[in-house]
Amino acid sequence: MRIIMFAGKGGVGKTSIASATGVRTAEDGQKTLIMSLDIAHSLSDIFALDKGLMEKNKGMPVKMEDRLWIQELDIQEEIQRNWGEVYKYIVSIFNATGFDEILAEELAILPGMEEVSSLLYINRYAQEGDFDVIILDCAPTGESLRFISIPTTLEWYIRKVFKMERRVVSYIRPVARRFYDVPLPEDDYFGALENLFARLEGIDKILTDPTITTVRLVTNPEKIVLKETQRTFLYFSLYKMCIDAIVMNRILPGHLTEKYFEDWKKSQRTYLKLAEEYFNPVPIFPVNLFQNEPLGKENLRRIGAEIYGEHSPTQHFYTERPYEFHQEDGQFFIRIKLPFLTKEEVELNRLAEEIVIRIGGFKRHILLPRHVNAYKHVRAKIDGGFLNIIFGGKKDGKEKA
């Protein structure tokens, strides 16, 4: 199965690009599901449906045509399907603190519930082979990162905390009821959590397997948006996910010759060039700004043709990680594959939040994780076709040479 995630800053056109990709793969003969991971669902609007998907099928996949389904989760339905005992306990906590019942039930929908529900569906579809292609229309950057971090966080909790917590609560529950008016979770609560985790087993391997899952970042040729995309690129790289393409959306078409657009087009050219420096060697797919909102299947088909041309959207457009991070003995390493390179050809420059690598006419910007900015001493070495950039050792300004 093939999973393609479309991520990026809010408002860049992720839903349009994801939907266009799904329309294209379905027309190529592959059984395709487009799933919205954003709380503010808009798939039904993009496909110009007369009513929302939740009205149609209560958060389950809705068949659009032969080989194409779309899905927007309904968190209220997911609570009934997956979160019953957990949700009931959280409501009881809010009730005990003085909130009225309606407000308690609203507050009990905690951040992460919808993301876990999405992961449950993806894992089930992958295990059962329900679809050939799953297209994930991600929420804006921050929520997307929470989505991909949940499997690791849950695994840590289940392995390190869950069993001890369950055992301790079982011991103190009978005594606590006499002296403590805040309810402690019953065993059904822990059983529900354990069941959720069991159903998520293996999803982390699916998401980080580049033969199955790749990420495509959607961006616009604007300074603020590009900077956010660069940061998103960094975060997905830290999670060891393969980014195989950048979709540069809303480029002003060349036939616009009015003077009003001259400065805008010049600015876009500047940021297009900068994007090549940021993301090279990951390919960039340009998409022109549409004259009208790209709603409905025909417009989505046109977008898909513009992005992919004769290529299949399921193709892996870039298969290697452009760079990798790791930490060892108080030092932080960035490892970049640059074969056939000699020491004399590389020039490194350190800016406030990034490292700039220049090799002849080639330049690449790598945004640094925030905690790495505290390292002042930077050195580099070439080893077996890899450029290793080393930030070391201590963070107090007295680093080892």
Give the Cα separation of 321 and 242 in Å (integer).
6
Going by pLDDT thresholds of 50, 70 and 90, the confidence category of residue 401 is: very low
When pLDDT is averaged across residues 366-370 and rounded to a whole number, the result is 85
Asked if the model's pLDDT at residue 171 lies above 60, the reply is: yes
Asked if the model's pLDDT at residue 1 lies above 80, the reply is: yes
Asked if the model's pLDDT at residue 396 lies above 80, the reply is: no
Cis peptide before 221 (omega within 30 of 0): no
Tokens of 323: 């760079």
When pLDDT is averaged across residues 75-88 and rounded to a whole number, the result is 86
Write out pLDDT tens, residues 241-256: 899 999 999 999 988 8
The reported pLDDT for the residue numbered 374 is 80
Tokens of 90: 């959280």
Domains of the chain: 2-308 (3.40.50.300), 324-391 (2.60.40.790)
Rounded (10°) angle between helices 262-279 and 223-238:
20
pTM: 0.83
Going by pLDDT thresholds of 50, 70 and 90, the confidence category of residue 55 is: low
Phi, psi of 63 (to 5 degrees): -80, 125
Tokens of 74: 């309904």
The reported pLDDT for the residue numbered 399 is 38
Buried b (16+ CB within 10 A) or exposed e, 314-336: beebbeebbbebeeeeebbebeb
Write out pLDDT tens, residues 184-232: 888 898 998 899 899 999 999 999 899 999 999 999 999 999 999 988 9
Burial class from Cβ neighbours inside 10 Å (0-12, 13-18, 19+) for residue 102 reads exposed
